[in-house]
Structure 1
Amino acid sequence: MLTRKMRLLFVSFFLTISVFVNAQTKNRPNVILIIADDQGYGDLGVTGNPHIKTPVLDKLAAESIRFNNFNVSPVCAPTRSSLMTGRYSLRTGMRDTYNGGATMAGSEATIAEVLKQADYTTGIFGKWHLGDNYPSRPQDQGFDESVIHLSGGMGQVGDFTTYFKGDRSYFDPVLWHNGQQEAYTGYCSDIFTDEAIDFISSHSEKPFFCYLSFNAPHTPLQVPEKYYEMYKGIDPTSGFDDGRPFPEMSEKDKEDARKVYAMVTNIDDNLKRLFRKLKDLKIEKNTIIIFMTDNGPQQARYVAGMRGKKGSVYRGGTRVPFYFKYPERYKKDMDIETMAAHIDVLPTLAEICKVQVPHDRKIDGKSLVPLLNGSAVDWAERPFFSYWTRRYPEKYNNMSLQKGDYKLVGHTDYDASFEDFELFDLKYDPFEQHNIVSKQGEIAKSLKVELDEQYNELIQSENLVNPQHILIGTPHENPIFLNRNDADGERGIWAQEEIFGKWAVNITKGRYNIKFKFVKPLKEVGQMVLETGPVINQFKNEETGIDVLQMNDVYLPSIKGDLIPIYNTKSKKILPFWVELEKF
């Protein structure tokens, strides 16, 4: 038996360890990562837009470390996978925003999973767009709390709980709370901010990671009337007389800009509420705040003179604002001109929060801590690869490599030589107006060699060659909904009736009830056919005017392959809008 003295020594020892651990935990900062969807570099007052009202974000920029050469992917889902993992999107299995290519491999490690090594509580509120089924959902990838919409955007076909609301899809939506449908009241950006504030308030006593991922100002451009009223009379082309290039804007572009500015001002007001809560909780000093956007603007409008927009590898598509604020550690605001990118966020947070990055895979990003500390010494120039085409990269088409001040851009054929590319010196030509490939051939040739090496490596990535299959019949997600965003098959699957589609699945053997929902009520009798590898189940439907068909008590063996549903009539072959499978 322990003596009293020994017991006291043990108690003292464990109290000391407990105090040390608690001190270590408290020393770790909270992290709030804020990202807006399709908000371009020019959609802020601080970046020279005289029309938009963003006082909160402008103030944040003034108090932050500003990365003025920060780059992302040209479109949203690839940006988000790189942001979450520190890896180029192709390594994670992400190759598109839909077409069955917007599912990140479940084996990837996200910021949330990395921070949970230090017992962070994690939450996401808004847009995920990295997979809507197990094992790729937020709750499968390290998030304790999630309130999200599905697919790439509310009102899109993949987000079937809001799609049928049409021009009211951003209001009073049905969202997914920890994997379950739940009805909410209000405007989407307000709801996501409310949920983030509640999460922060509930977990402010220990380190937390809050990923506030607005779906605004992505289309459809819906906004509360009071915000639209602020902009309905403006001319978005006026007030720019500084000589920088400015895109041509149609009347539709101008109206779209008014709505976008209104949506961004709403975000600005919501961030005012969020930042006020940090002060009320007295945690603002020990909280990292990052604000960024995921790509350039979808529509033509002011983009600070840069060339291109969303989808383009020119700077208008890939350069975004990036503000980093951490008052406890960095007391002053500062401008950083060194090239940085979305792949750098995970290693940066890992170093500051004192956690390990995964060592069993290649992390393409680099910690920005040396730059945050004011030193670019030993910061070697490194290449940044960018591309965008549907489905898979098309060699040398809309593809670029930036290294230091030079950027090589390809809009050419697969067998093109370096002379067929564009080369820009961003130091003297930040708007990418002057192709100097004929004058700097050796630089272009060298950059093309590096581009080829990077492309050839990425295109052979394991998660791209062997993509993640949706797991059906597991206790993690039952029932399971297969939506149009994740359907592969013909290019451009959206809301069409007559189109071939399929889902890549891994089915657990068992008995299932299966529902097929259609975009429109069926007008003809026909045959519902479900192909799952060599197993085909079918039945004749004699009823018209209905939009849901059901197969009950269907036995499916273990299958890894394609799930293909087709409704055959005399005149059509119809793809269901979504498929629900419930194992019993």
Structure 2
Amino acid sequence: MKIKHIFLAVSSCLLLFSVMGFAQEKSHPNIIIIITDDQGYGDLGITGNPHVQTPVIDKLATESISFNNFYVSPVCAPTRSSLMTGRYSLRTGVRDTYNGGAIMASNEVTIAEILKQADYKTGVFGKWHLGDNYPSRPSDQGFDESLIHLSGGMGQVGDITTYFKGDKSYFDPVLWHNNKKEAYRGYCSDIFTEEAIKFIERNKEAPFFCYLAFNAPHTPLQVPDKYYQQYRGIDPASGFENDNRPFSEMTEKDKEDARKVYAMVTNIDDNIGKLLQKLDDLNIADDTLIIFMTDNGPQQTRYVGGMRGRKGDVYQGGVRVPFYIKYSSFEKHKDIETMAAHIDILPTIAQICNVPLPTERIIDGKSLLPLMKGKGGDWDSRSLFFYWTRRYPELNYNMALRKGSYKLVGKTDYDAPIKDFELFDLDKDPYEQNNIVLENQTIANNLKEELHETYNELIASENLIHQPRIIIGSTHENPVILNRNDAGGQRGIWDQEELYGKWKVSIEKGLYDIKFKFINPVKANGRMYLETNGLVKHVLNKKEGTDIIEMKNVFFSEMDCDLIPFYAIGSKNIFPFWVEMRKID
């Protein structure tokens, strides 16, 4: 079991709340965080989209405090690690959405873990995307109950239980309930909501933390037909003719994708309505704090409120998302324009729930509670760092820093001069259309200096230098199935067959039975190789057209290593789709 040190005394937090005048509030409210996947800022009625129907979320927004300049990372796993820990994702070891870079270090302290200090019951339902094996699963990171799919998305290569279902992966899926495979009936978003509601019902008497992380409207764009029919006849590019904001041209495919996305979002809206109704039925709505947000911008081209860019971009369209927070003691329909971010969620919840923060690590976020209570504070001097490139961050490329109204964007070389950057004044140019770097080089150079300082600090993070390893042979998980999402090796490793791949693992001493699964059957008379720290084991495959090759009674000494499997046949080296390792002694 991992050991985590948290030193701040609860009594000091009680004193803080008393001084600030919040002692009369419920000290341990229930917490629900709802986050959707690849739903952009513009995929709501309340943010100006005339097509998508989201009456429940729109109403929730009017009953909440809305942070109108709220930011996340450009892609999934980095956002989720920052949300869970209050830290920039690179500090946590998360640097990618796959390529072995979406595993959060087990020494990170999550929202679930800080709330366990106050005896919260904790549950996650939907998308985790921070590690599928011990010691990085939800159950290893503070969650009492977990119902998740694997990797970054259902139907993706890392989710071995839904990948081969193809265009039906969102329906009747096999999911992972408390680390065990279970078959479910229905549509994924409905299932995750239903199970979250059951969790709430079971824990209504005690404070609970429910993390409802929809995998929709992420690709593949699959939705029940009754929802698709609501949008079948619309033109998602219409209705913006008199809008002076920028709007990207949509192809016919973009329009069809938008119809499916809007259908998926309306399904989510209905499900959120069911959850909110359950809170009313249980008479705990006033004791429950609710957060709604999304994880990044849209993957496809569609309405995004006029902002530039989409998922993966450090422009506004990739990183600015809706964020609504509702609690009975908070002001309703209050807009806050101060810049805030995913890293602020953990410290905010810690203060509201009267639990101490970890003190032996850097917490990059700040509690938003003073802002919500009108207490102000020093917010003008804060800056936010953004990046996204595949595998590892690349200095000055798709990298940005925002401070005050100014935002410096790099889409250039590591040694580029300041004239090759973009500088925007978002107060005057919220859609990032006018590059003012040449007229404001002093401002730009100051931002560039801070950008480089932040980059250099983050890439030196211990959890990034020493990437998290999957532990094999532990009693906490046996067998271990290594999937493609967590495989490293060649850049862009996905569902290819002929490529170099590996997993970073820690193997406990013992005997193992090993299965190698391939995407397609392999020919006979090749050799299955397994390399670990220079130790090579291989076996001749005599079966024609098999997609499973086994090694029995393989001995390993205790080691940290790169586990490198491949099937050699002729001039080809074929990388397995997944590898199962079962300790047998």
TM-score range, shorter chain: over 0.9
Q: Which residue of 2 aligns with 1:450?
A: 450
For structure 1, which segment, 150-159 or 446-455, has the greater mean C-alpha deviation from structure 2 after superposition?
446-455
Change (3 A) 1:517 1:25: farther
Q: Secondary structure at the match of 1:151?
A: coil
Give the C-alpha shift of residue 496 in structure 1.
1.1
Q: Which residue of 2 aligns with 1:230?
A: 230
Residues in 2 aligned to 1:117 and 1:84: alpha-carbon distance in whole angstroms: 16
Give the C-alpha shift of residue 536 in structure 1.
1.5
Residues in 1 aligned to 2:24 and 2:469: alpha-carbon distance in whole angstroms: 39
Change (3 A) 1:561 1:24: farther
Residues in 2 aligned to 1:474 and 1:138: alpha-carbon distance in whole angstroms: 16
Q: Which residue of 2 aligns with 1:148?
A: 148
CA contact (8 A) 1:120 1:206 kept: yes
1:137 maps onto 2:106 in alignment = no
Q: Which residue of 1 aligns with 2:551?
A: 551
CA contact (8 A) 2:27 2:352 kept: no
1:63 maps onto 2:63 in alignment = yes
Q: Which residue of 2 aligns with 1:460?
A: 460
Give the C-alpha shift of residue 379 in structure 1.
3.1
Give the C-alpha shift of residue 290 in structure 1.
0.2
Alignment of 1:506-545 (within 5 A): 506-545=506-545
Give the C-alpha shift of residue 420 in structure 1.
1.8
State the TM-score, normalizing by the size of structure 1. 0.95
Q: Which residue of 2 aligns with 1:159?
A: 159
Give the C-alpha shift of residue 331 in structure 1.
3.7
1:576 maps onto 2:576 in alignment = yes
Q: Secondary structure at the match of 2:290?
A: strand
Alignment of 1:282-361 (within 5 A): 282-327=283-328, 329-361=329-361
Give the C-alpha shift of residue 24 in structure 1.
10
Residues in 2 aligned to 1:534 and 1:379: alpha-carbon distance in whole angstroms: 53
Give the C-alpha shift of residue 333 in structure 1.
2.0
Give the C-alpha shift of residue 26 in structure 1.
6.1
Q: Which residue of 2 aligns with 1:392?
A: 392
CA contact (8 A) 1:25 1:207 kept: no
Residues in 2 aligned to 1:383 and 1:458: alpha-carbon distance in whole angstroms: 14
Change (3 A) 1:423 1:324: same
Residues in 2 aligned to 1:216 and 1:248: alpha-carbon distance in whole angstroms: 24
CA contact (8 A) 2:158 2:483 kept: yes
1:368 maps onto 2:361 in alignment = no
State the TM-score, normalizing by the size of structure 2. 0.95
Q: Secondary structure at the match of 2:293?
A: strand
Q: Which residue of 2 aligns with 1:212?
A: 212
Residues in 2 aligned to 1:394 and 1:28: alpha-carbon distance in whole angstroms: 42
Q: Secondary structure at the match of 1:189?
A: helix
For structure 1, which segment, 547-556 or 254-263, has the greater mean C-alpha deviation from structure 2 after superposition?
547-556
CA contact (8 A) 2:64 2:331 kept: no
Code of the aligned partner of 2:306: G
Q: Secondary structure at the match of 1:165?
A: helix
Q: Secondary structure at the match of 1:521?
A: strand
Residues in 2 aligned to 1:107 and 1:28: alpha-carbon distance in whole angstroms: 25
What do residues 193-220 of structure 1 show as CA deviations (whole Å, max 9, x unaligned)? 0010000000010100000000000000
Residues in 2 aligned to 1:535 and 1:558: alpha-carbon distance in whole angstroms: 13
Code of the aligned partner of 1:126: G
Alignment of 1:418-457 (within 5 A): 418-457=418-457
Residues in 1 aligned to 2:147 and 2:205: alpha-carbon distance in whole angstroms: 22
Give the C-alpha shift of residue 524 in structure 1.
3.7
1:475 maps onto 2:479 in alignment = no
Q: Secondary structure at the match of 1:547?
A: strand
Give the C-alpha shift of residue 27 in structure 1.
3.5
Q: Which residue of 2 aligns with 1:264?
A: 265
Residues in 2 aligned to 1:331 and 1:145: alpha-carbon distance in whole angstroms: 32
Give the C-alpha shift of residue 311 in structure 1.
0.3
Change (3 A) 1:338 1:331: closer
Aligned length: 561
Q: Secondary structure at the match of 1:118?
A: coil
What do residues 528-557 of structure 1 show as CA deviations (whole Å, max 9, x unaligned)? 111111321111011112111111111111
CA contact (8 A) 1:513 1:550 kept: yes
CA contact (8 A) 1:313 1:388 kept: yes
Give the C-alpha shift of residue 25 in structure 1.
11
Residues in 1 aligned to 2:331 and 2:500: alpha-carbon distance in whole angstroms: 57
CA contact (8 A) 1:25 1:118 kept: no
Residues in 2 aligned to 1:257 and 1:30: alpha-carbon distance in whole angstroms: 35
Give the C-alpha shift of residue 471 in structure 1.
0.5
Residues in 2 aligned to 1:394 and 1:42: alpha-carbon distance in whole angstroms: 29
CA contact (8 A) 1:193 1:212 kept: yes
Give the C-alpha shift of residue 497 in structure 1.
1.1
Residues in 2 aligned to 1:524 and 1:222: alpha-carbon distance in whole angstroms: 38
Q: Secondary structure at the match of 1:399?
A: strand
What do residues 119-160 of structure 1 show as CA deviations (whole Å, max 9, x unaligned)? 100000000000011110000000000000000000000001
Residues in 2 aligned to 1:567 and 1:313: alpha-carbon distance in whole angstroms: 40
CA contact (8 A) 1:26 1:207 kept: no
CA contact (8 A) 2:44 2:58 kept: yes
CA contact (8 A) 2:338 2:379 kept: no
Q: Which residue of 2 aligns with 1:492?
A: 492
Residues in 2 aligned to 1:331 and 1:287: alpha-carbon distance in whole angstroms: 15
Change (3 A) 1:539 1:208: same
Code of the aligned partner of 1:456: N
Change (3 A) 1:94 1:189: same
CA contact (8 A) 1:25 1:206 kept: no
Residues in 1 aligned to 2:248 and 2:357: alpha-carbon distance in whole angstroms: 42
Code of the aligned partner of 1:539: V
Residues in 2 aligned to 1:331 and 1:72: alpha-carbon distance in whole angstroms: 24
Q: Secondary structure at the match of 1:268?
A: helix
What do residues 268-321 of structure 1 show as CA deviations (whole Å, max 9, x unaligned)? 000010000000011101111000000000000000000000000000000000
Change (3 A) 1:24 1:524: farther
Residues in 1 aligned to 2:540 and 2:443: alpha-carbon distance in whole angstroms: 65
Alignment of 1:187-206 (within 5 A): 187-206=187-206
Code of the aligned partner of 1:118: A
What do residues 340-385 of structure 1 show as CA deviations (whole Å, max 9, x unaligned)? 0000000000000001111010000000011110232433420100
Q: Which residue of 2 aligns with 1:12?
A: none
1:254 maps onto 2:255 in alignment = yes
Residues in 1 aligned to 2:540 and 2:24: alpha-carbon distance in whole angstroms: 65
CA contact (8 A) 1:350 1:356 kept: yes
Give the C-alpha shift of residue 87 in structure 1.
0.3
Q: Secondary structure at the match of 1:130?
A: coil
Residues in 2 aligned to 1:234 and 1:525: alpha-carbon distance in whole angstroms: 56
Residues in 2 aligned to 1:238 and 1:420: alpha-carbon distance in whole angstroms: 36
Q: Secondary structure at the match of 2:519?
A: coil
Residues in 2 aligned to 1:207 and 1:194: alpha-carbon distance in whole angstroms: 19
For structure 1, which segment, 397-406 or 565-574, has the greater mean C-alpha deviation from structure 2 after superposition?
565-574
Q: Secondary structure at the match of 2:280?
A: helix
Q: Secondary structure at the match of 1:61?
A: helix
Give the C-alpha shift of residue 468 in structure 1.
0.8
Q: Which residue of 2 aligns with 1:20?
A: none
Q: Secondary structure at the match of 2:514?
A: strand
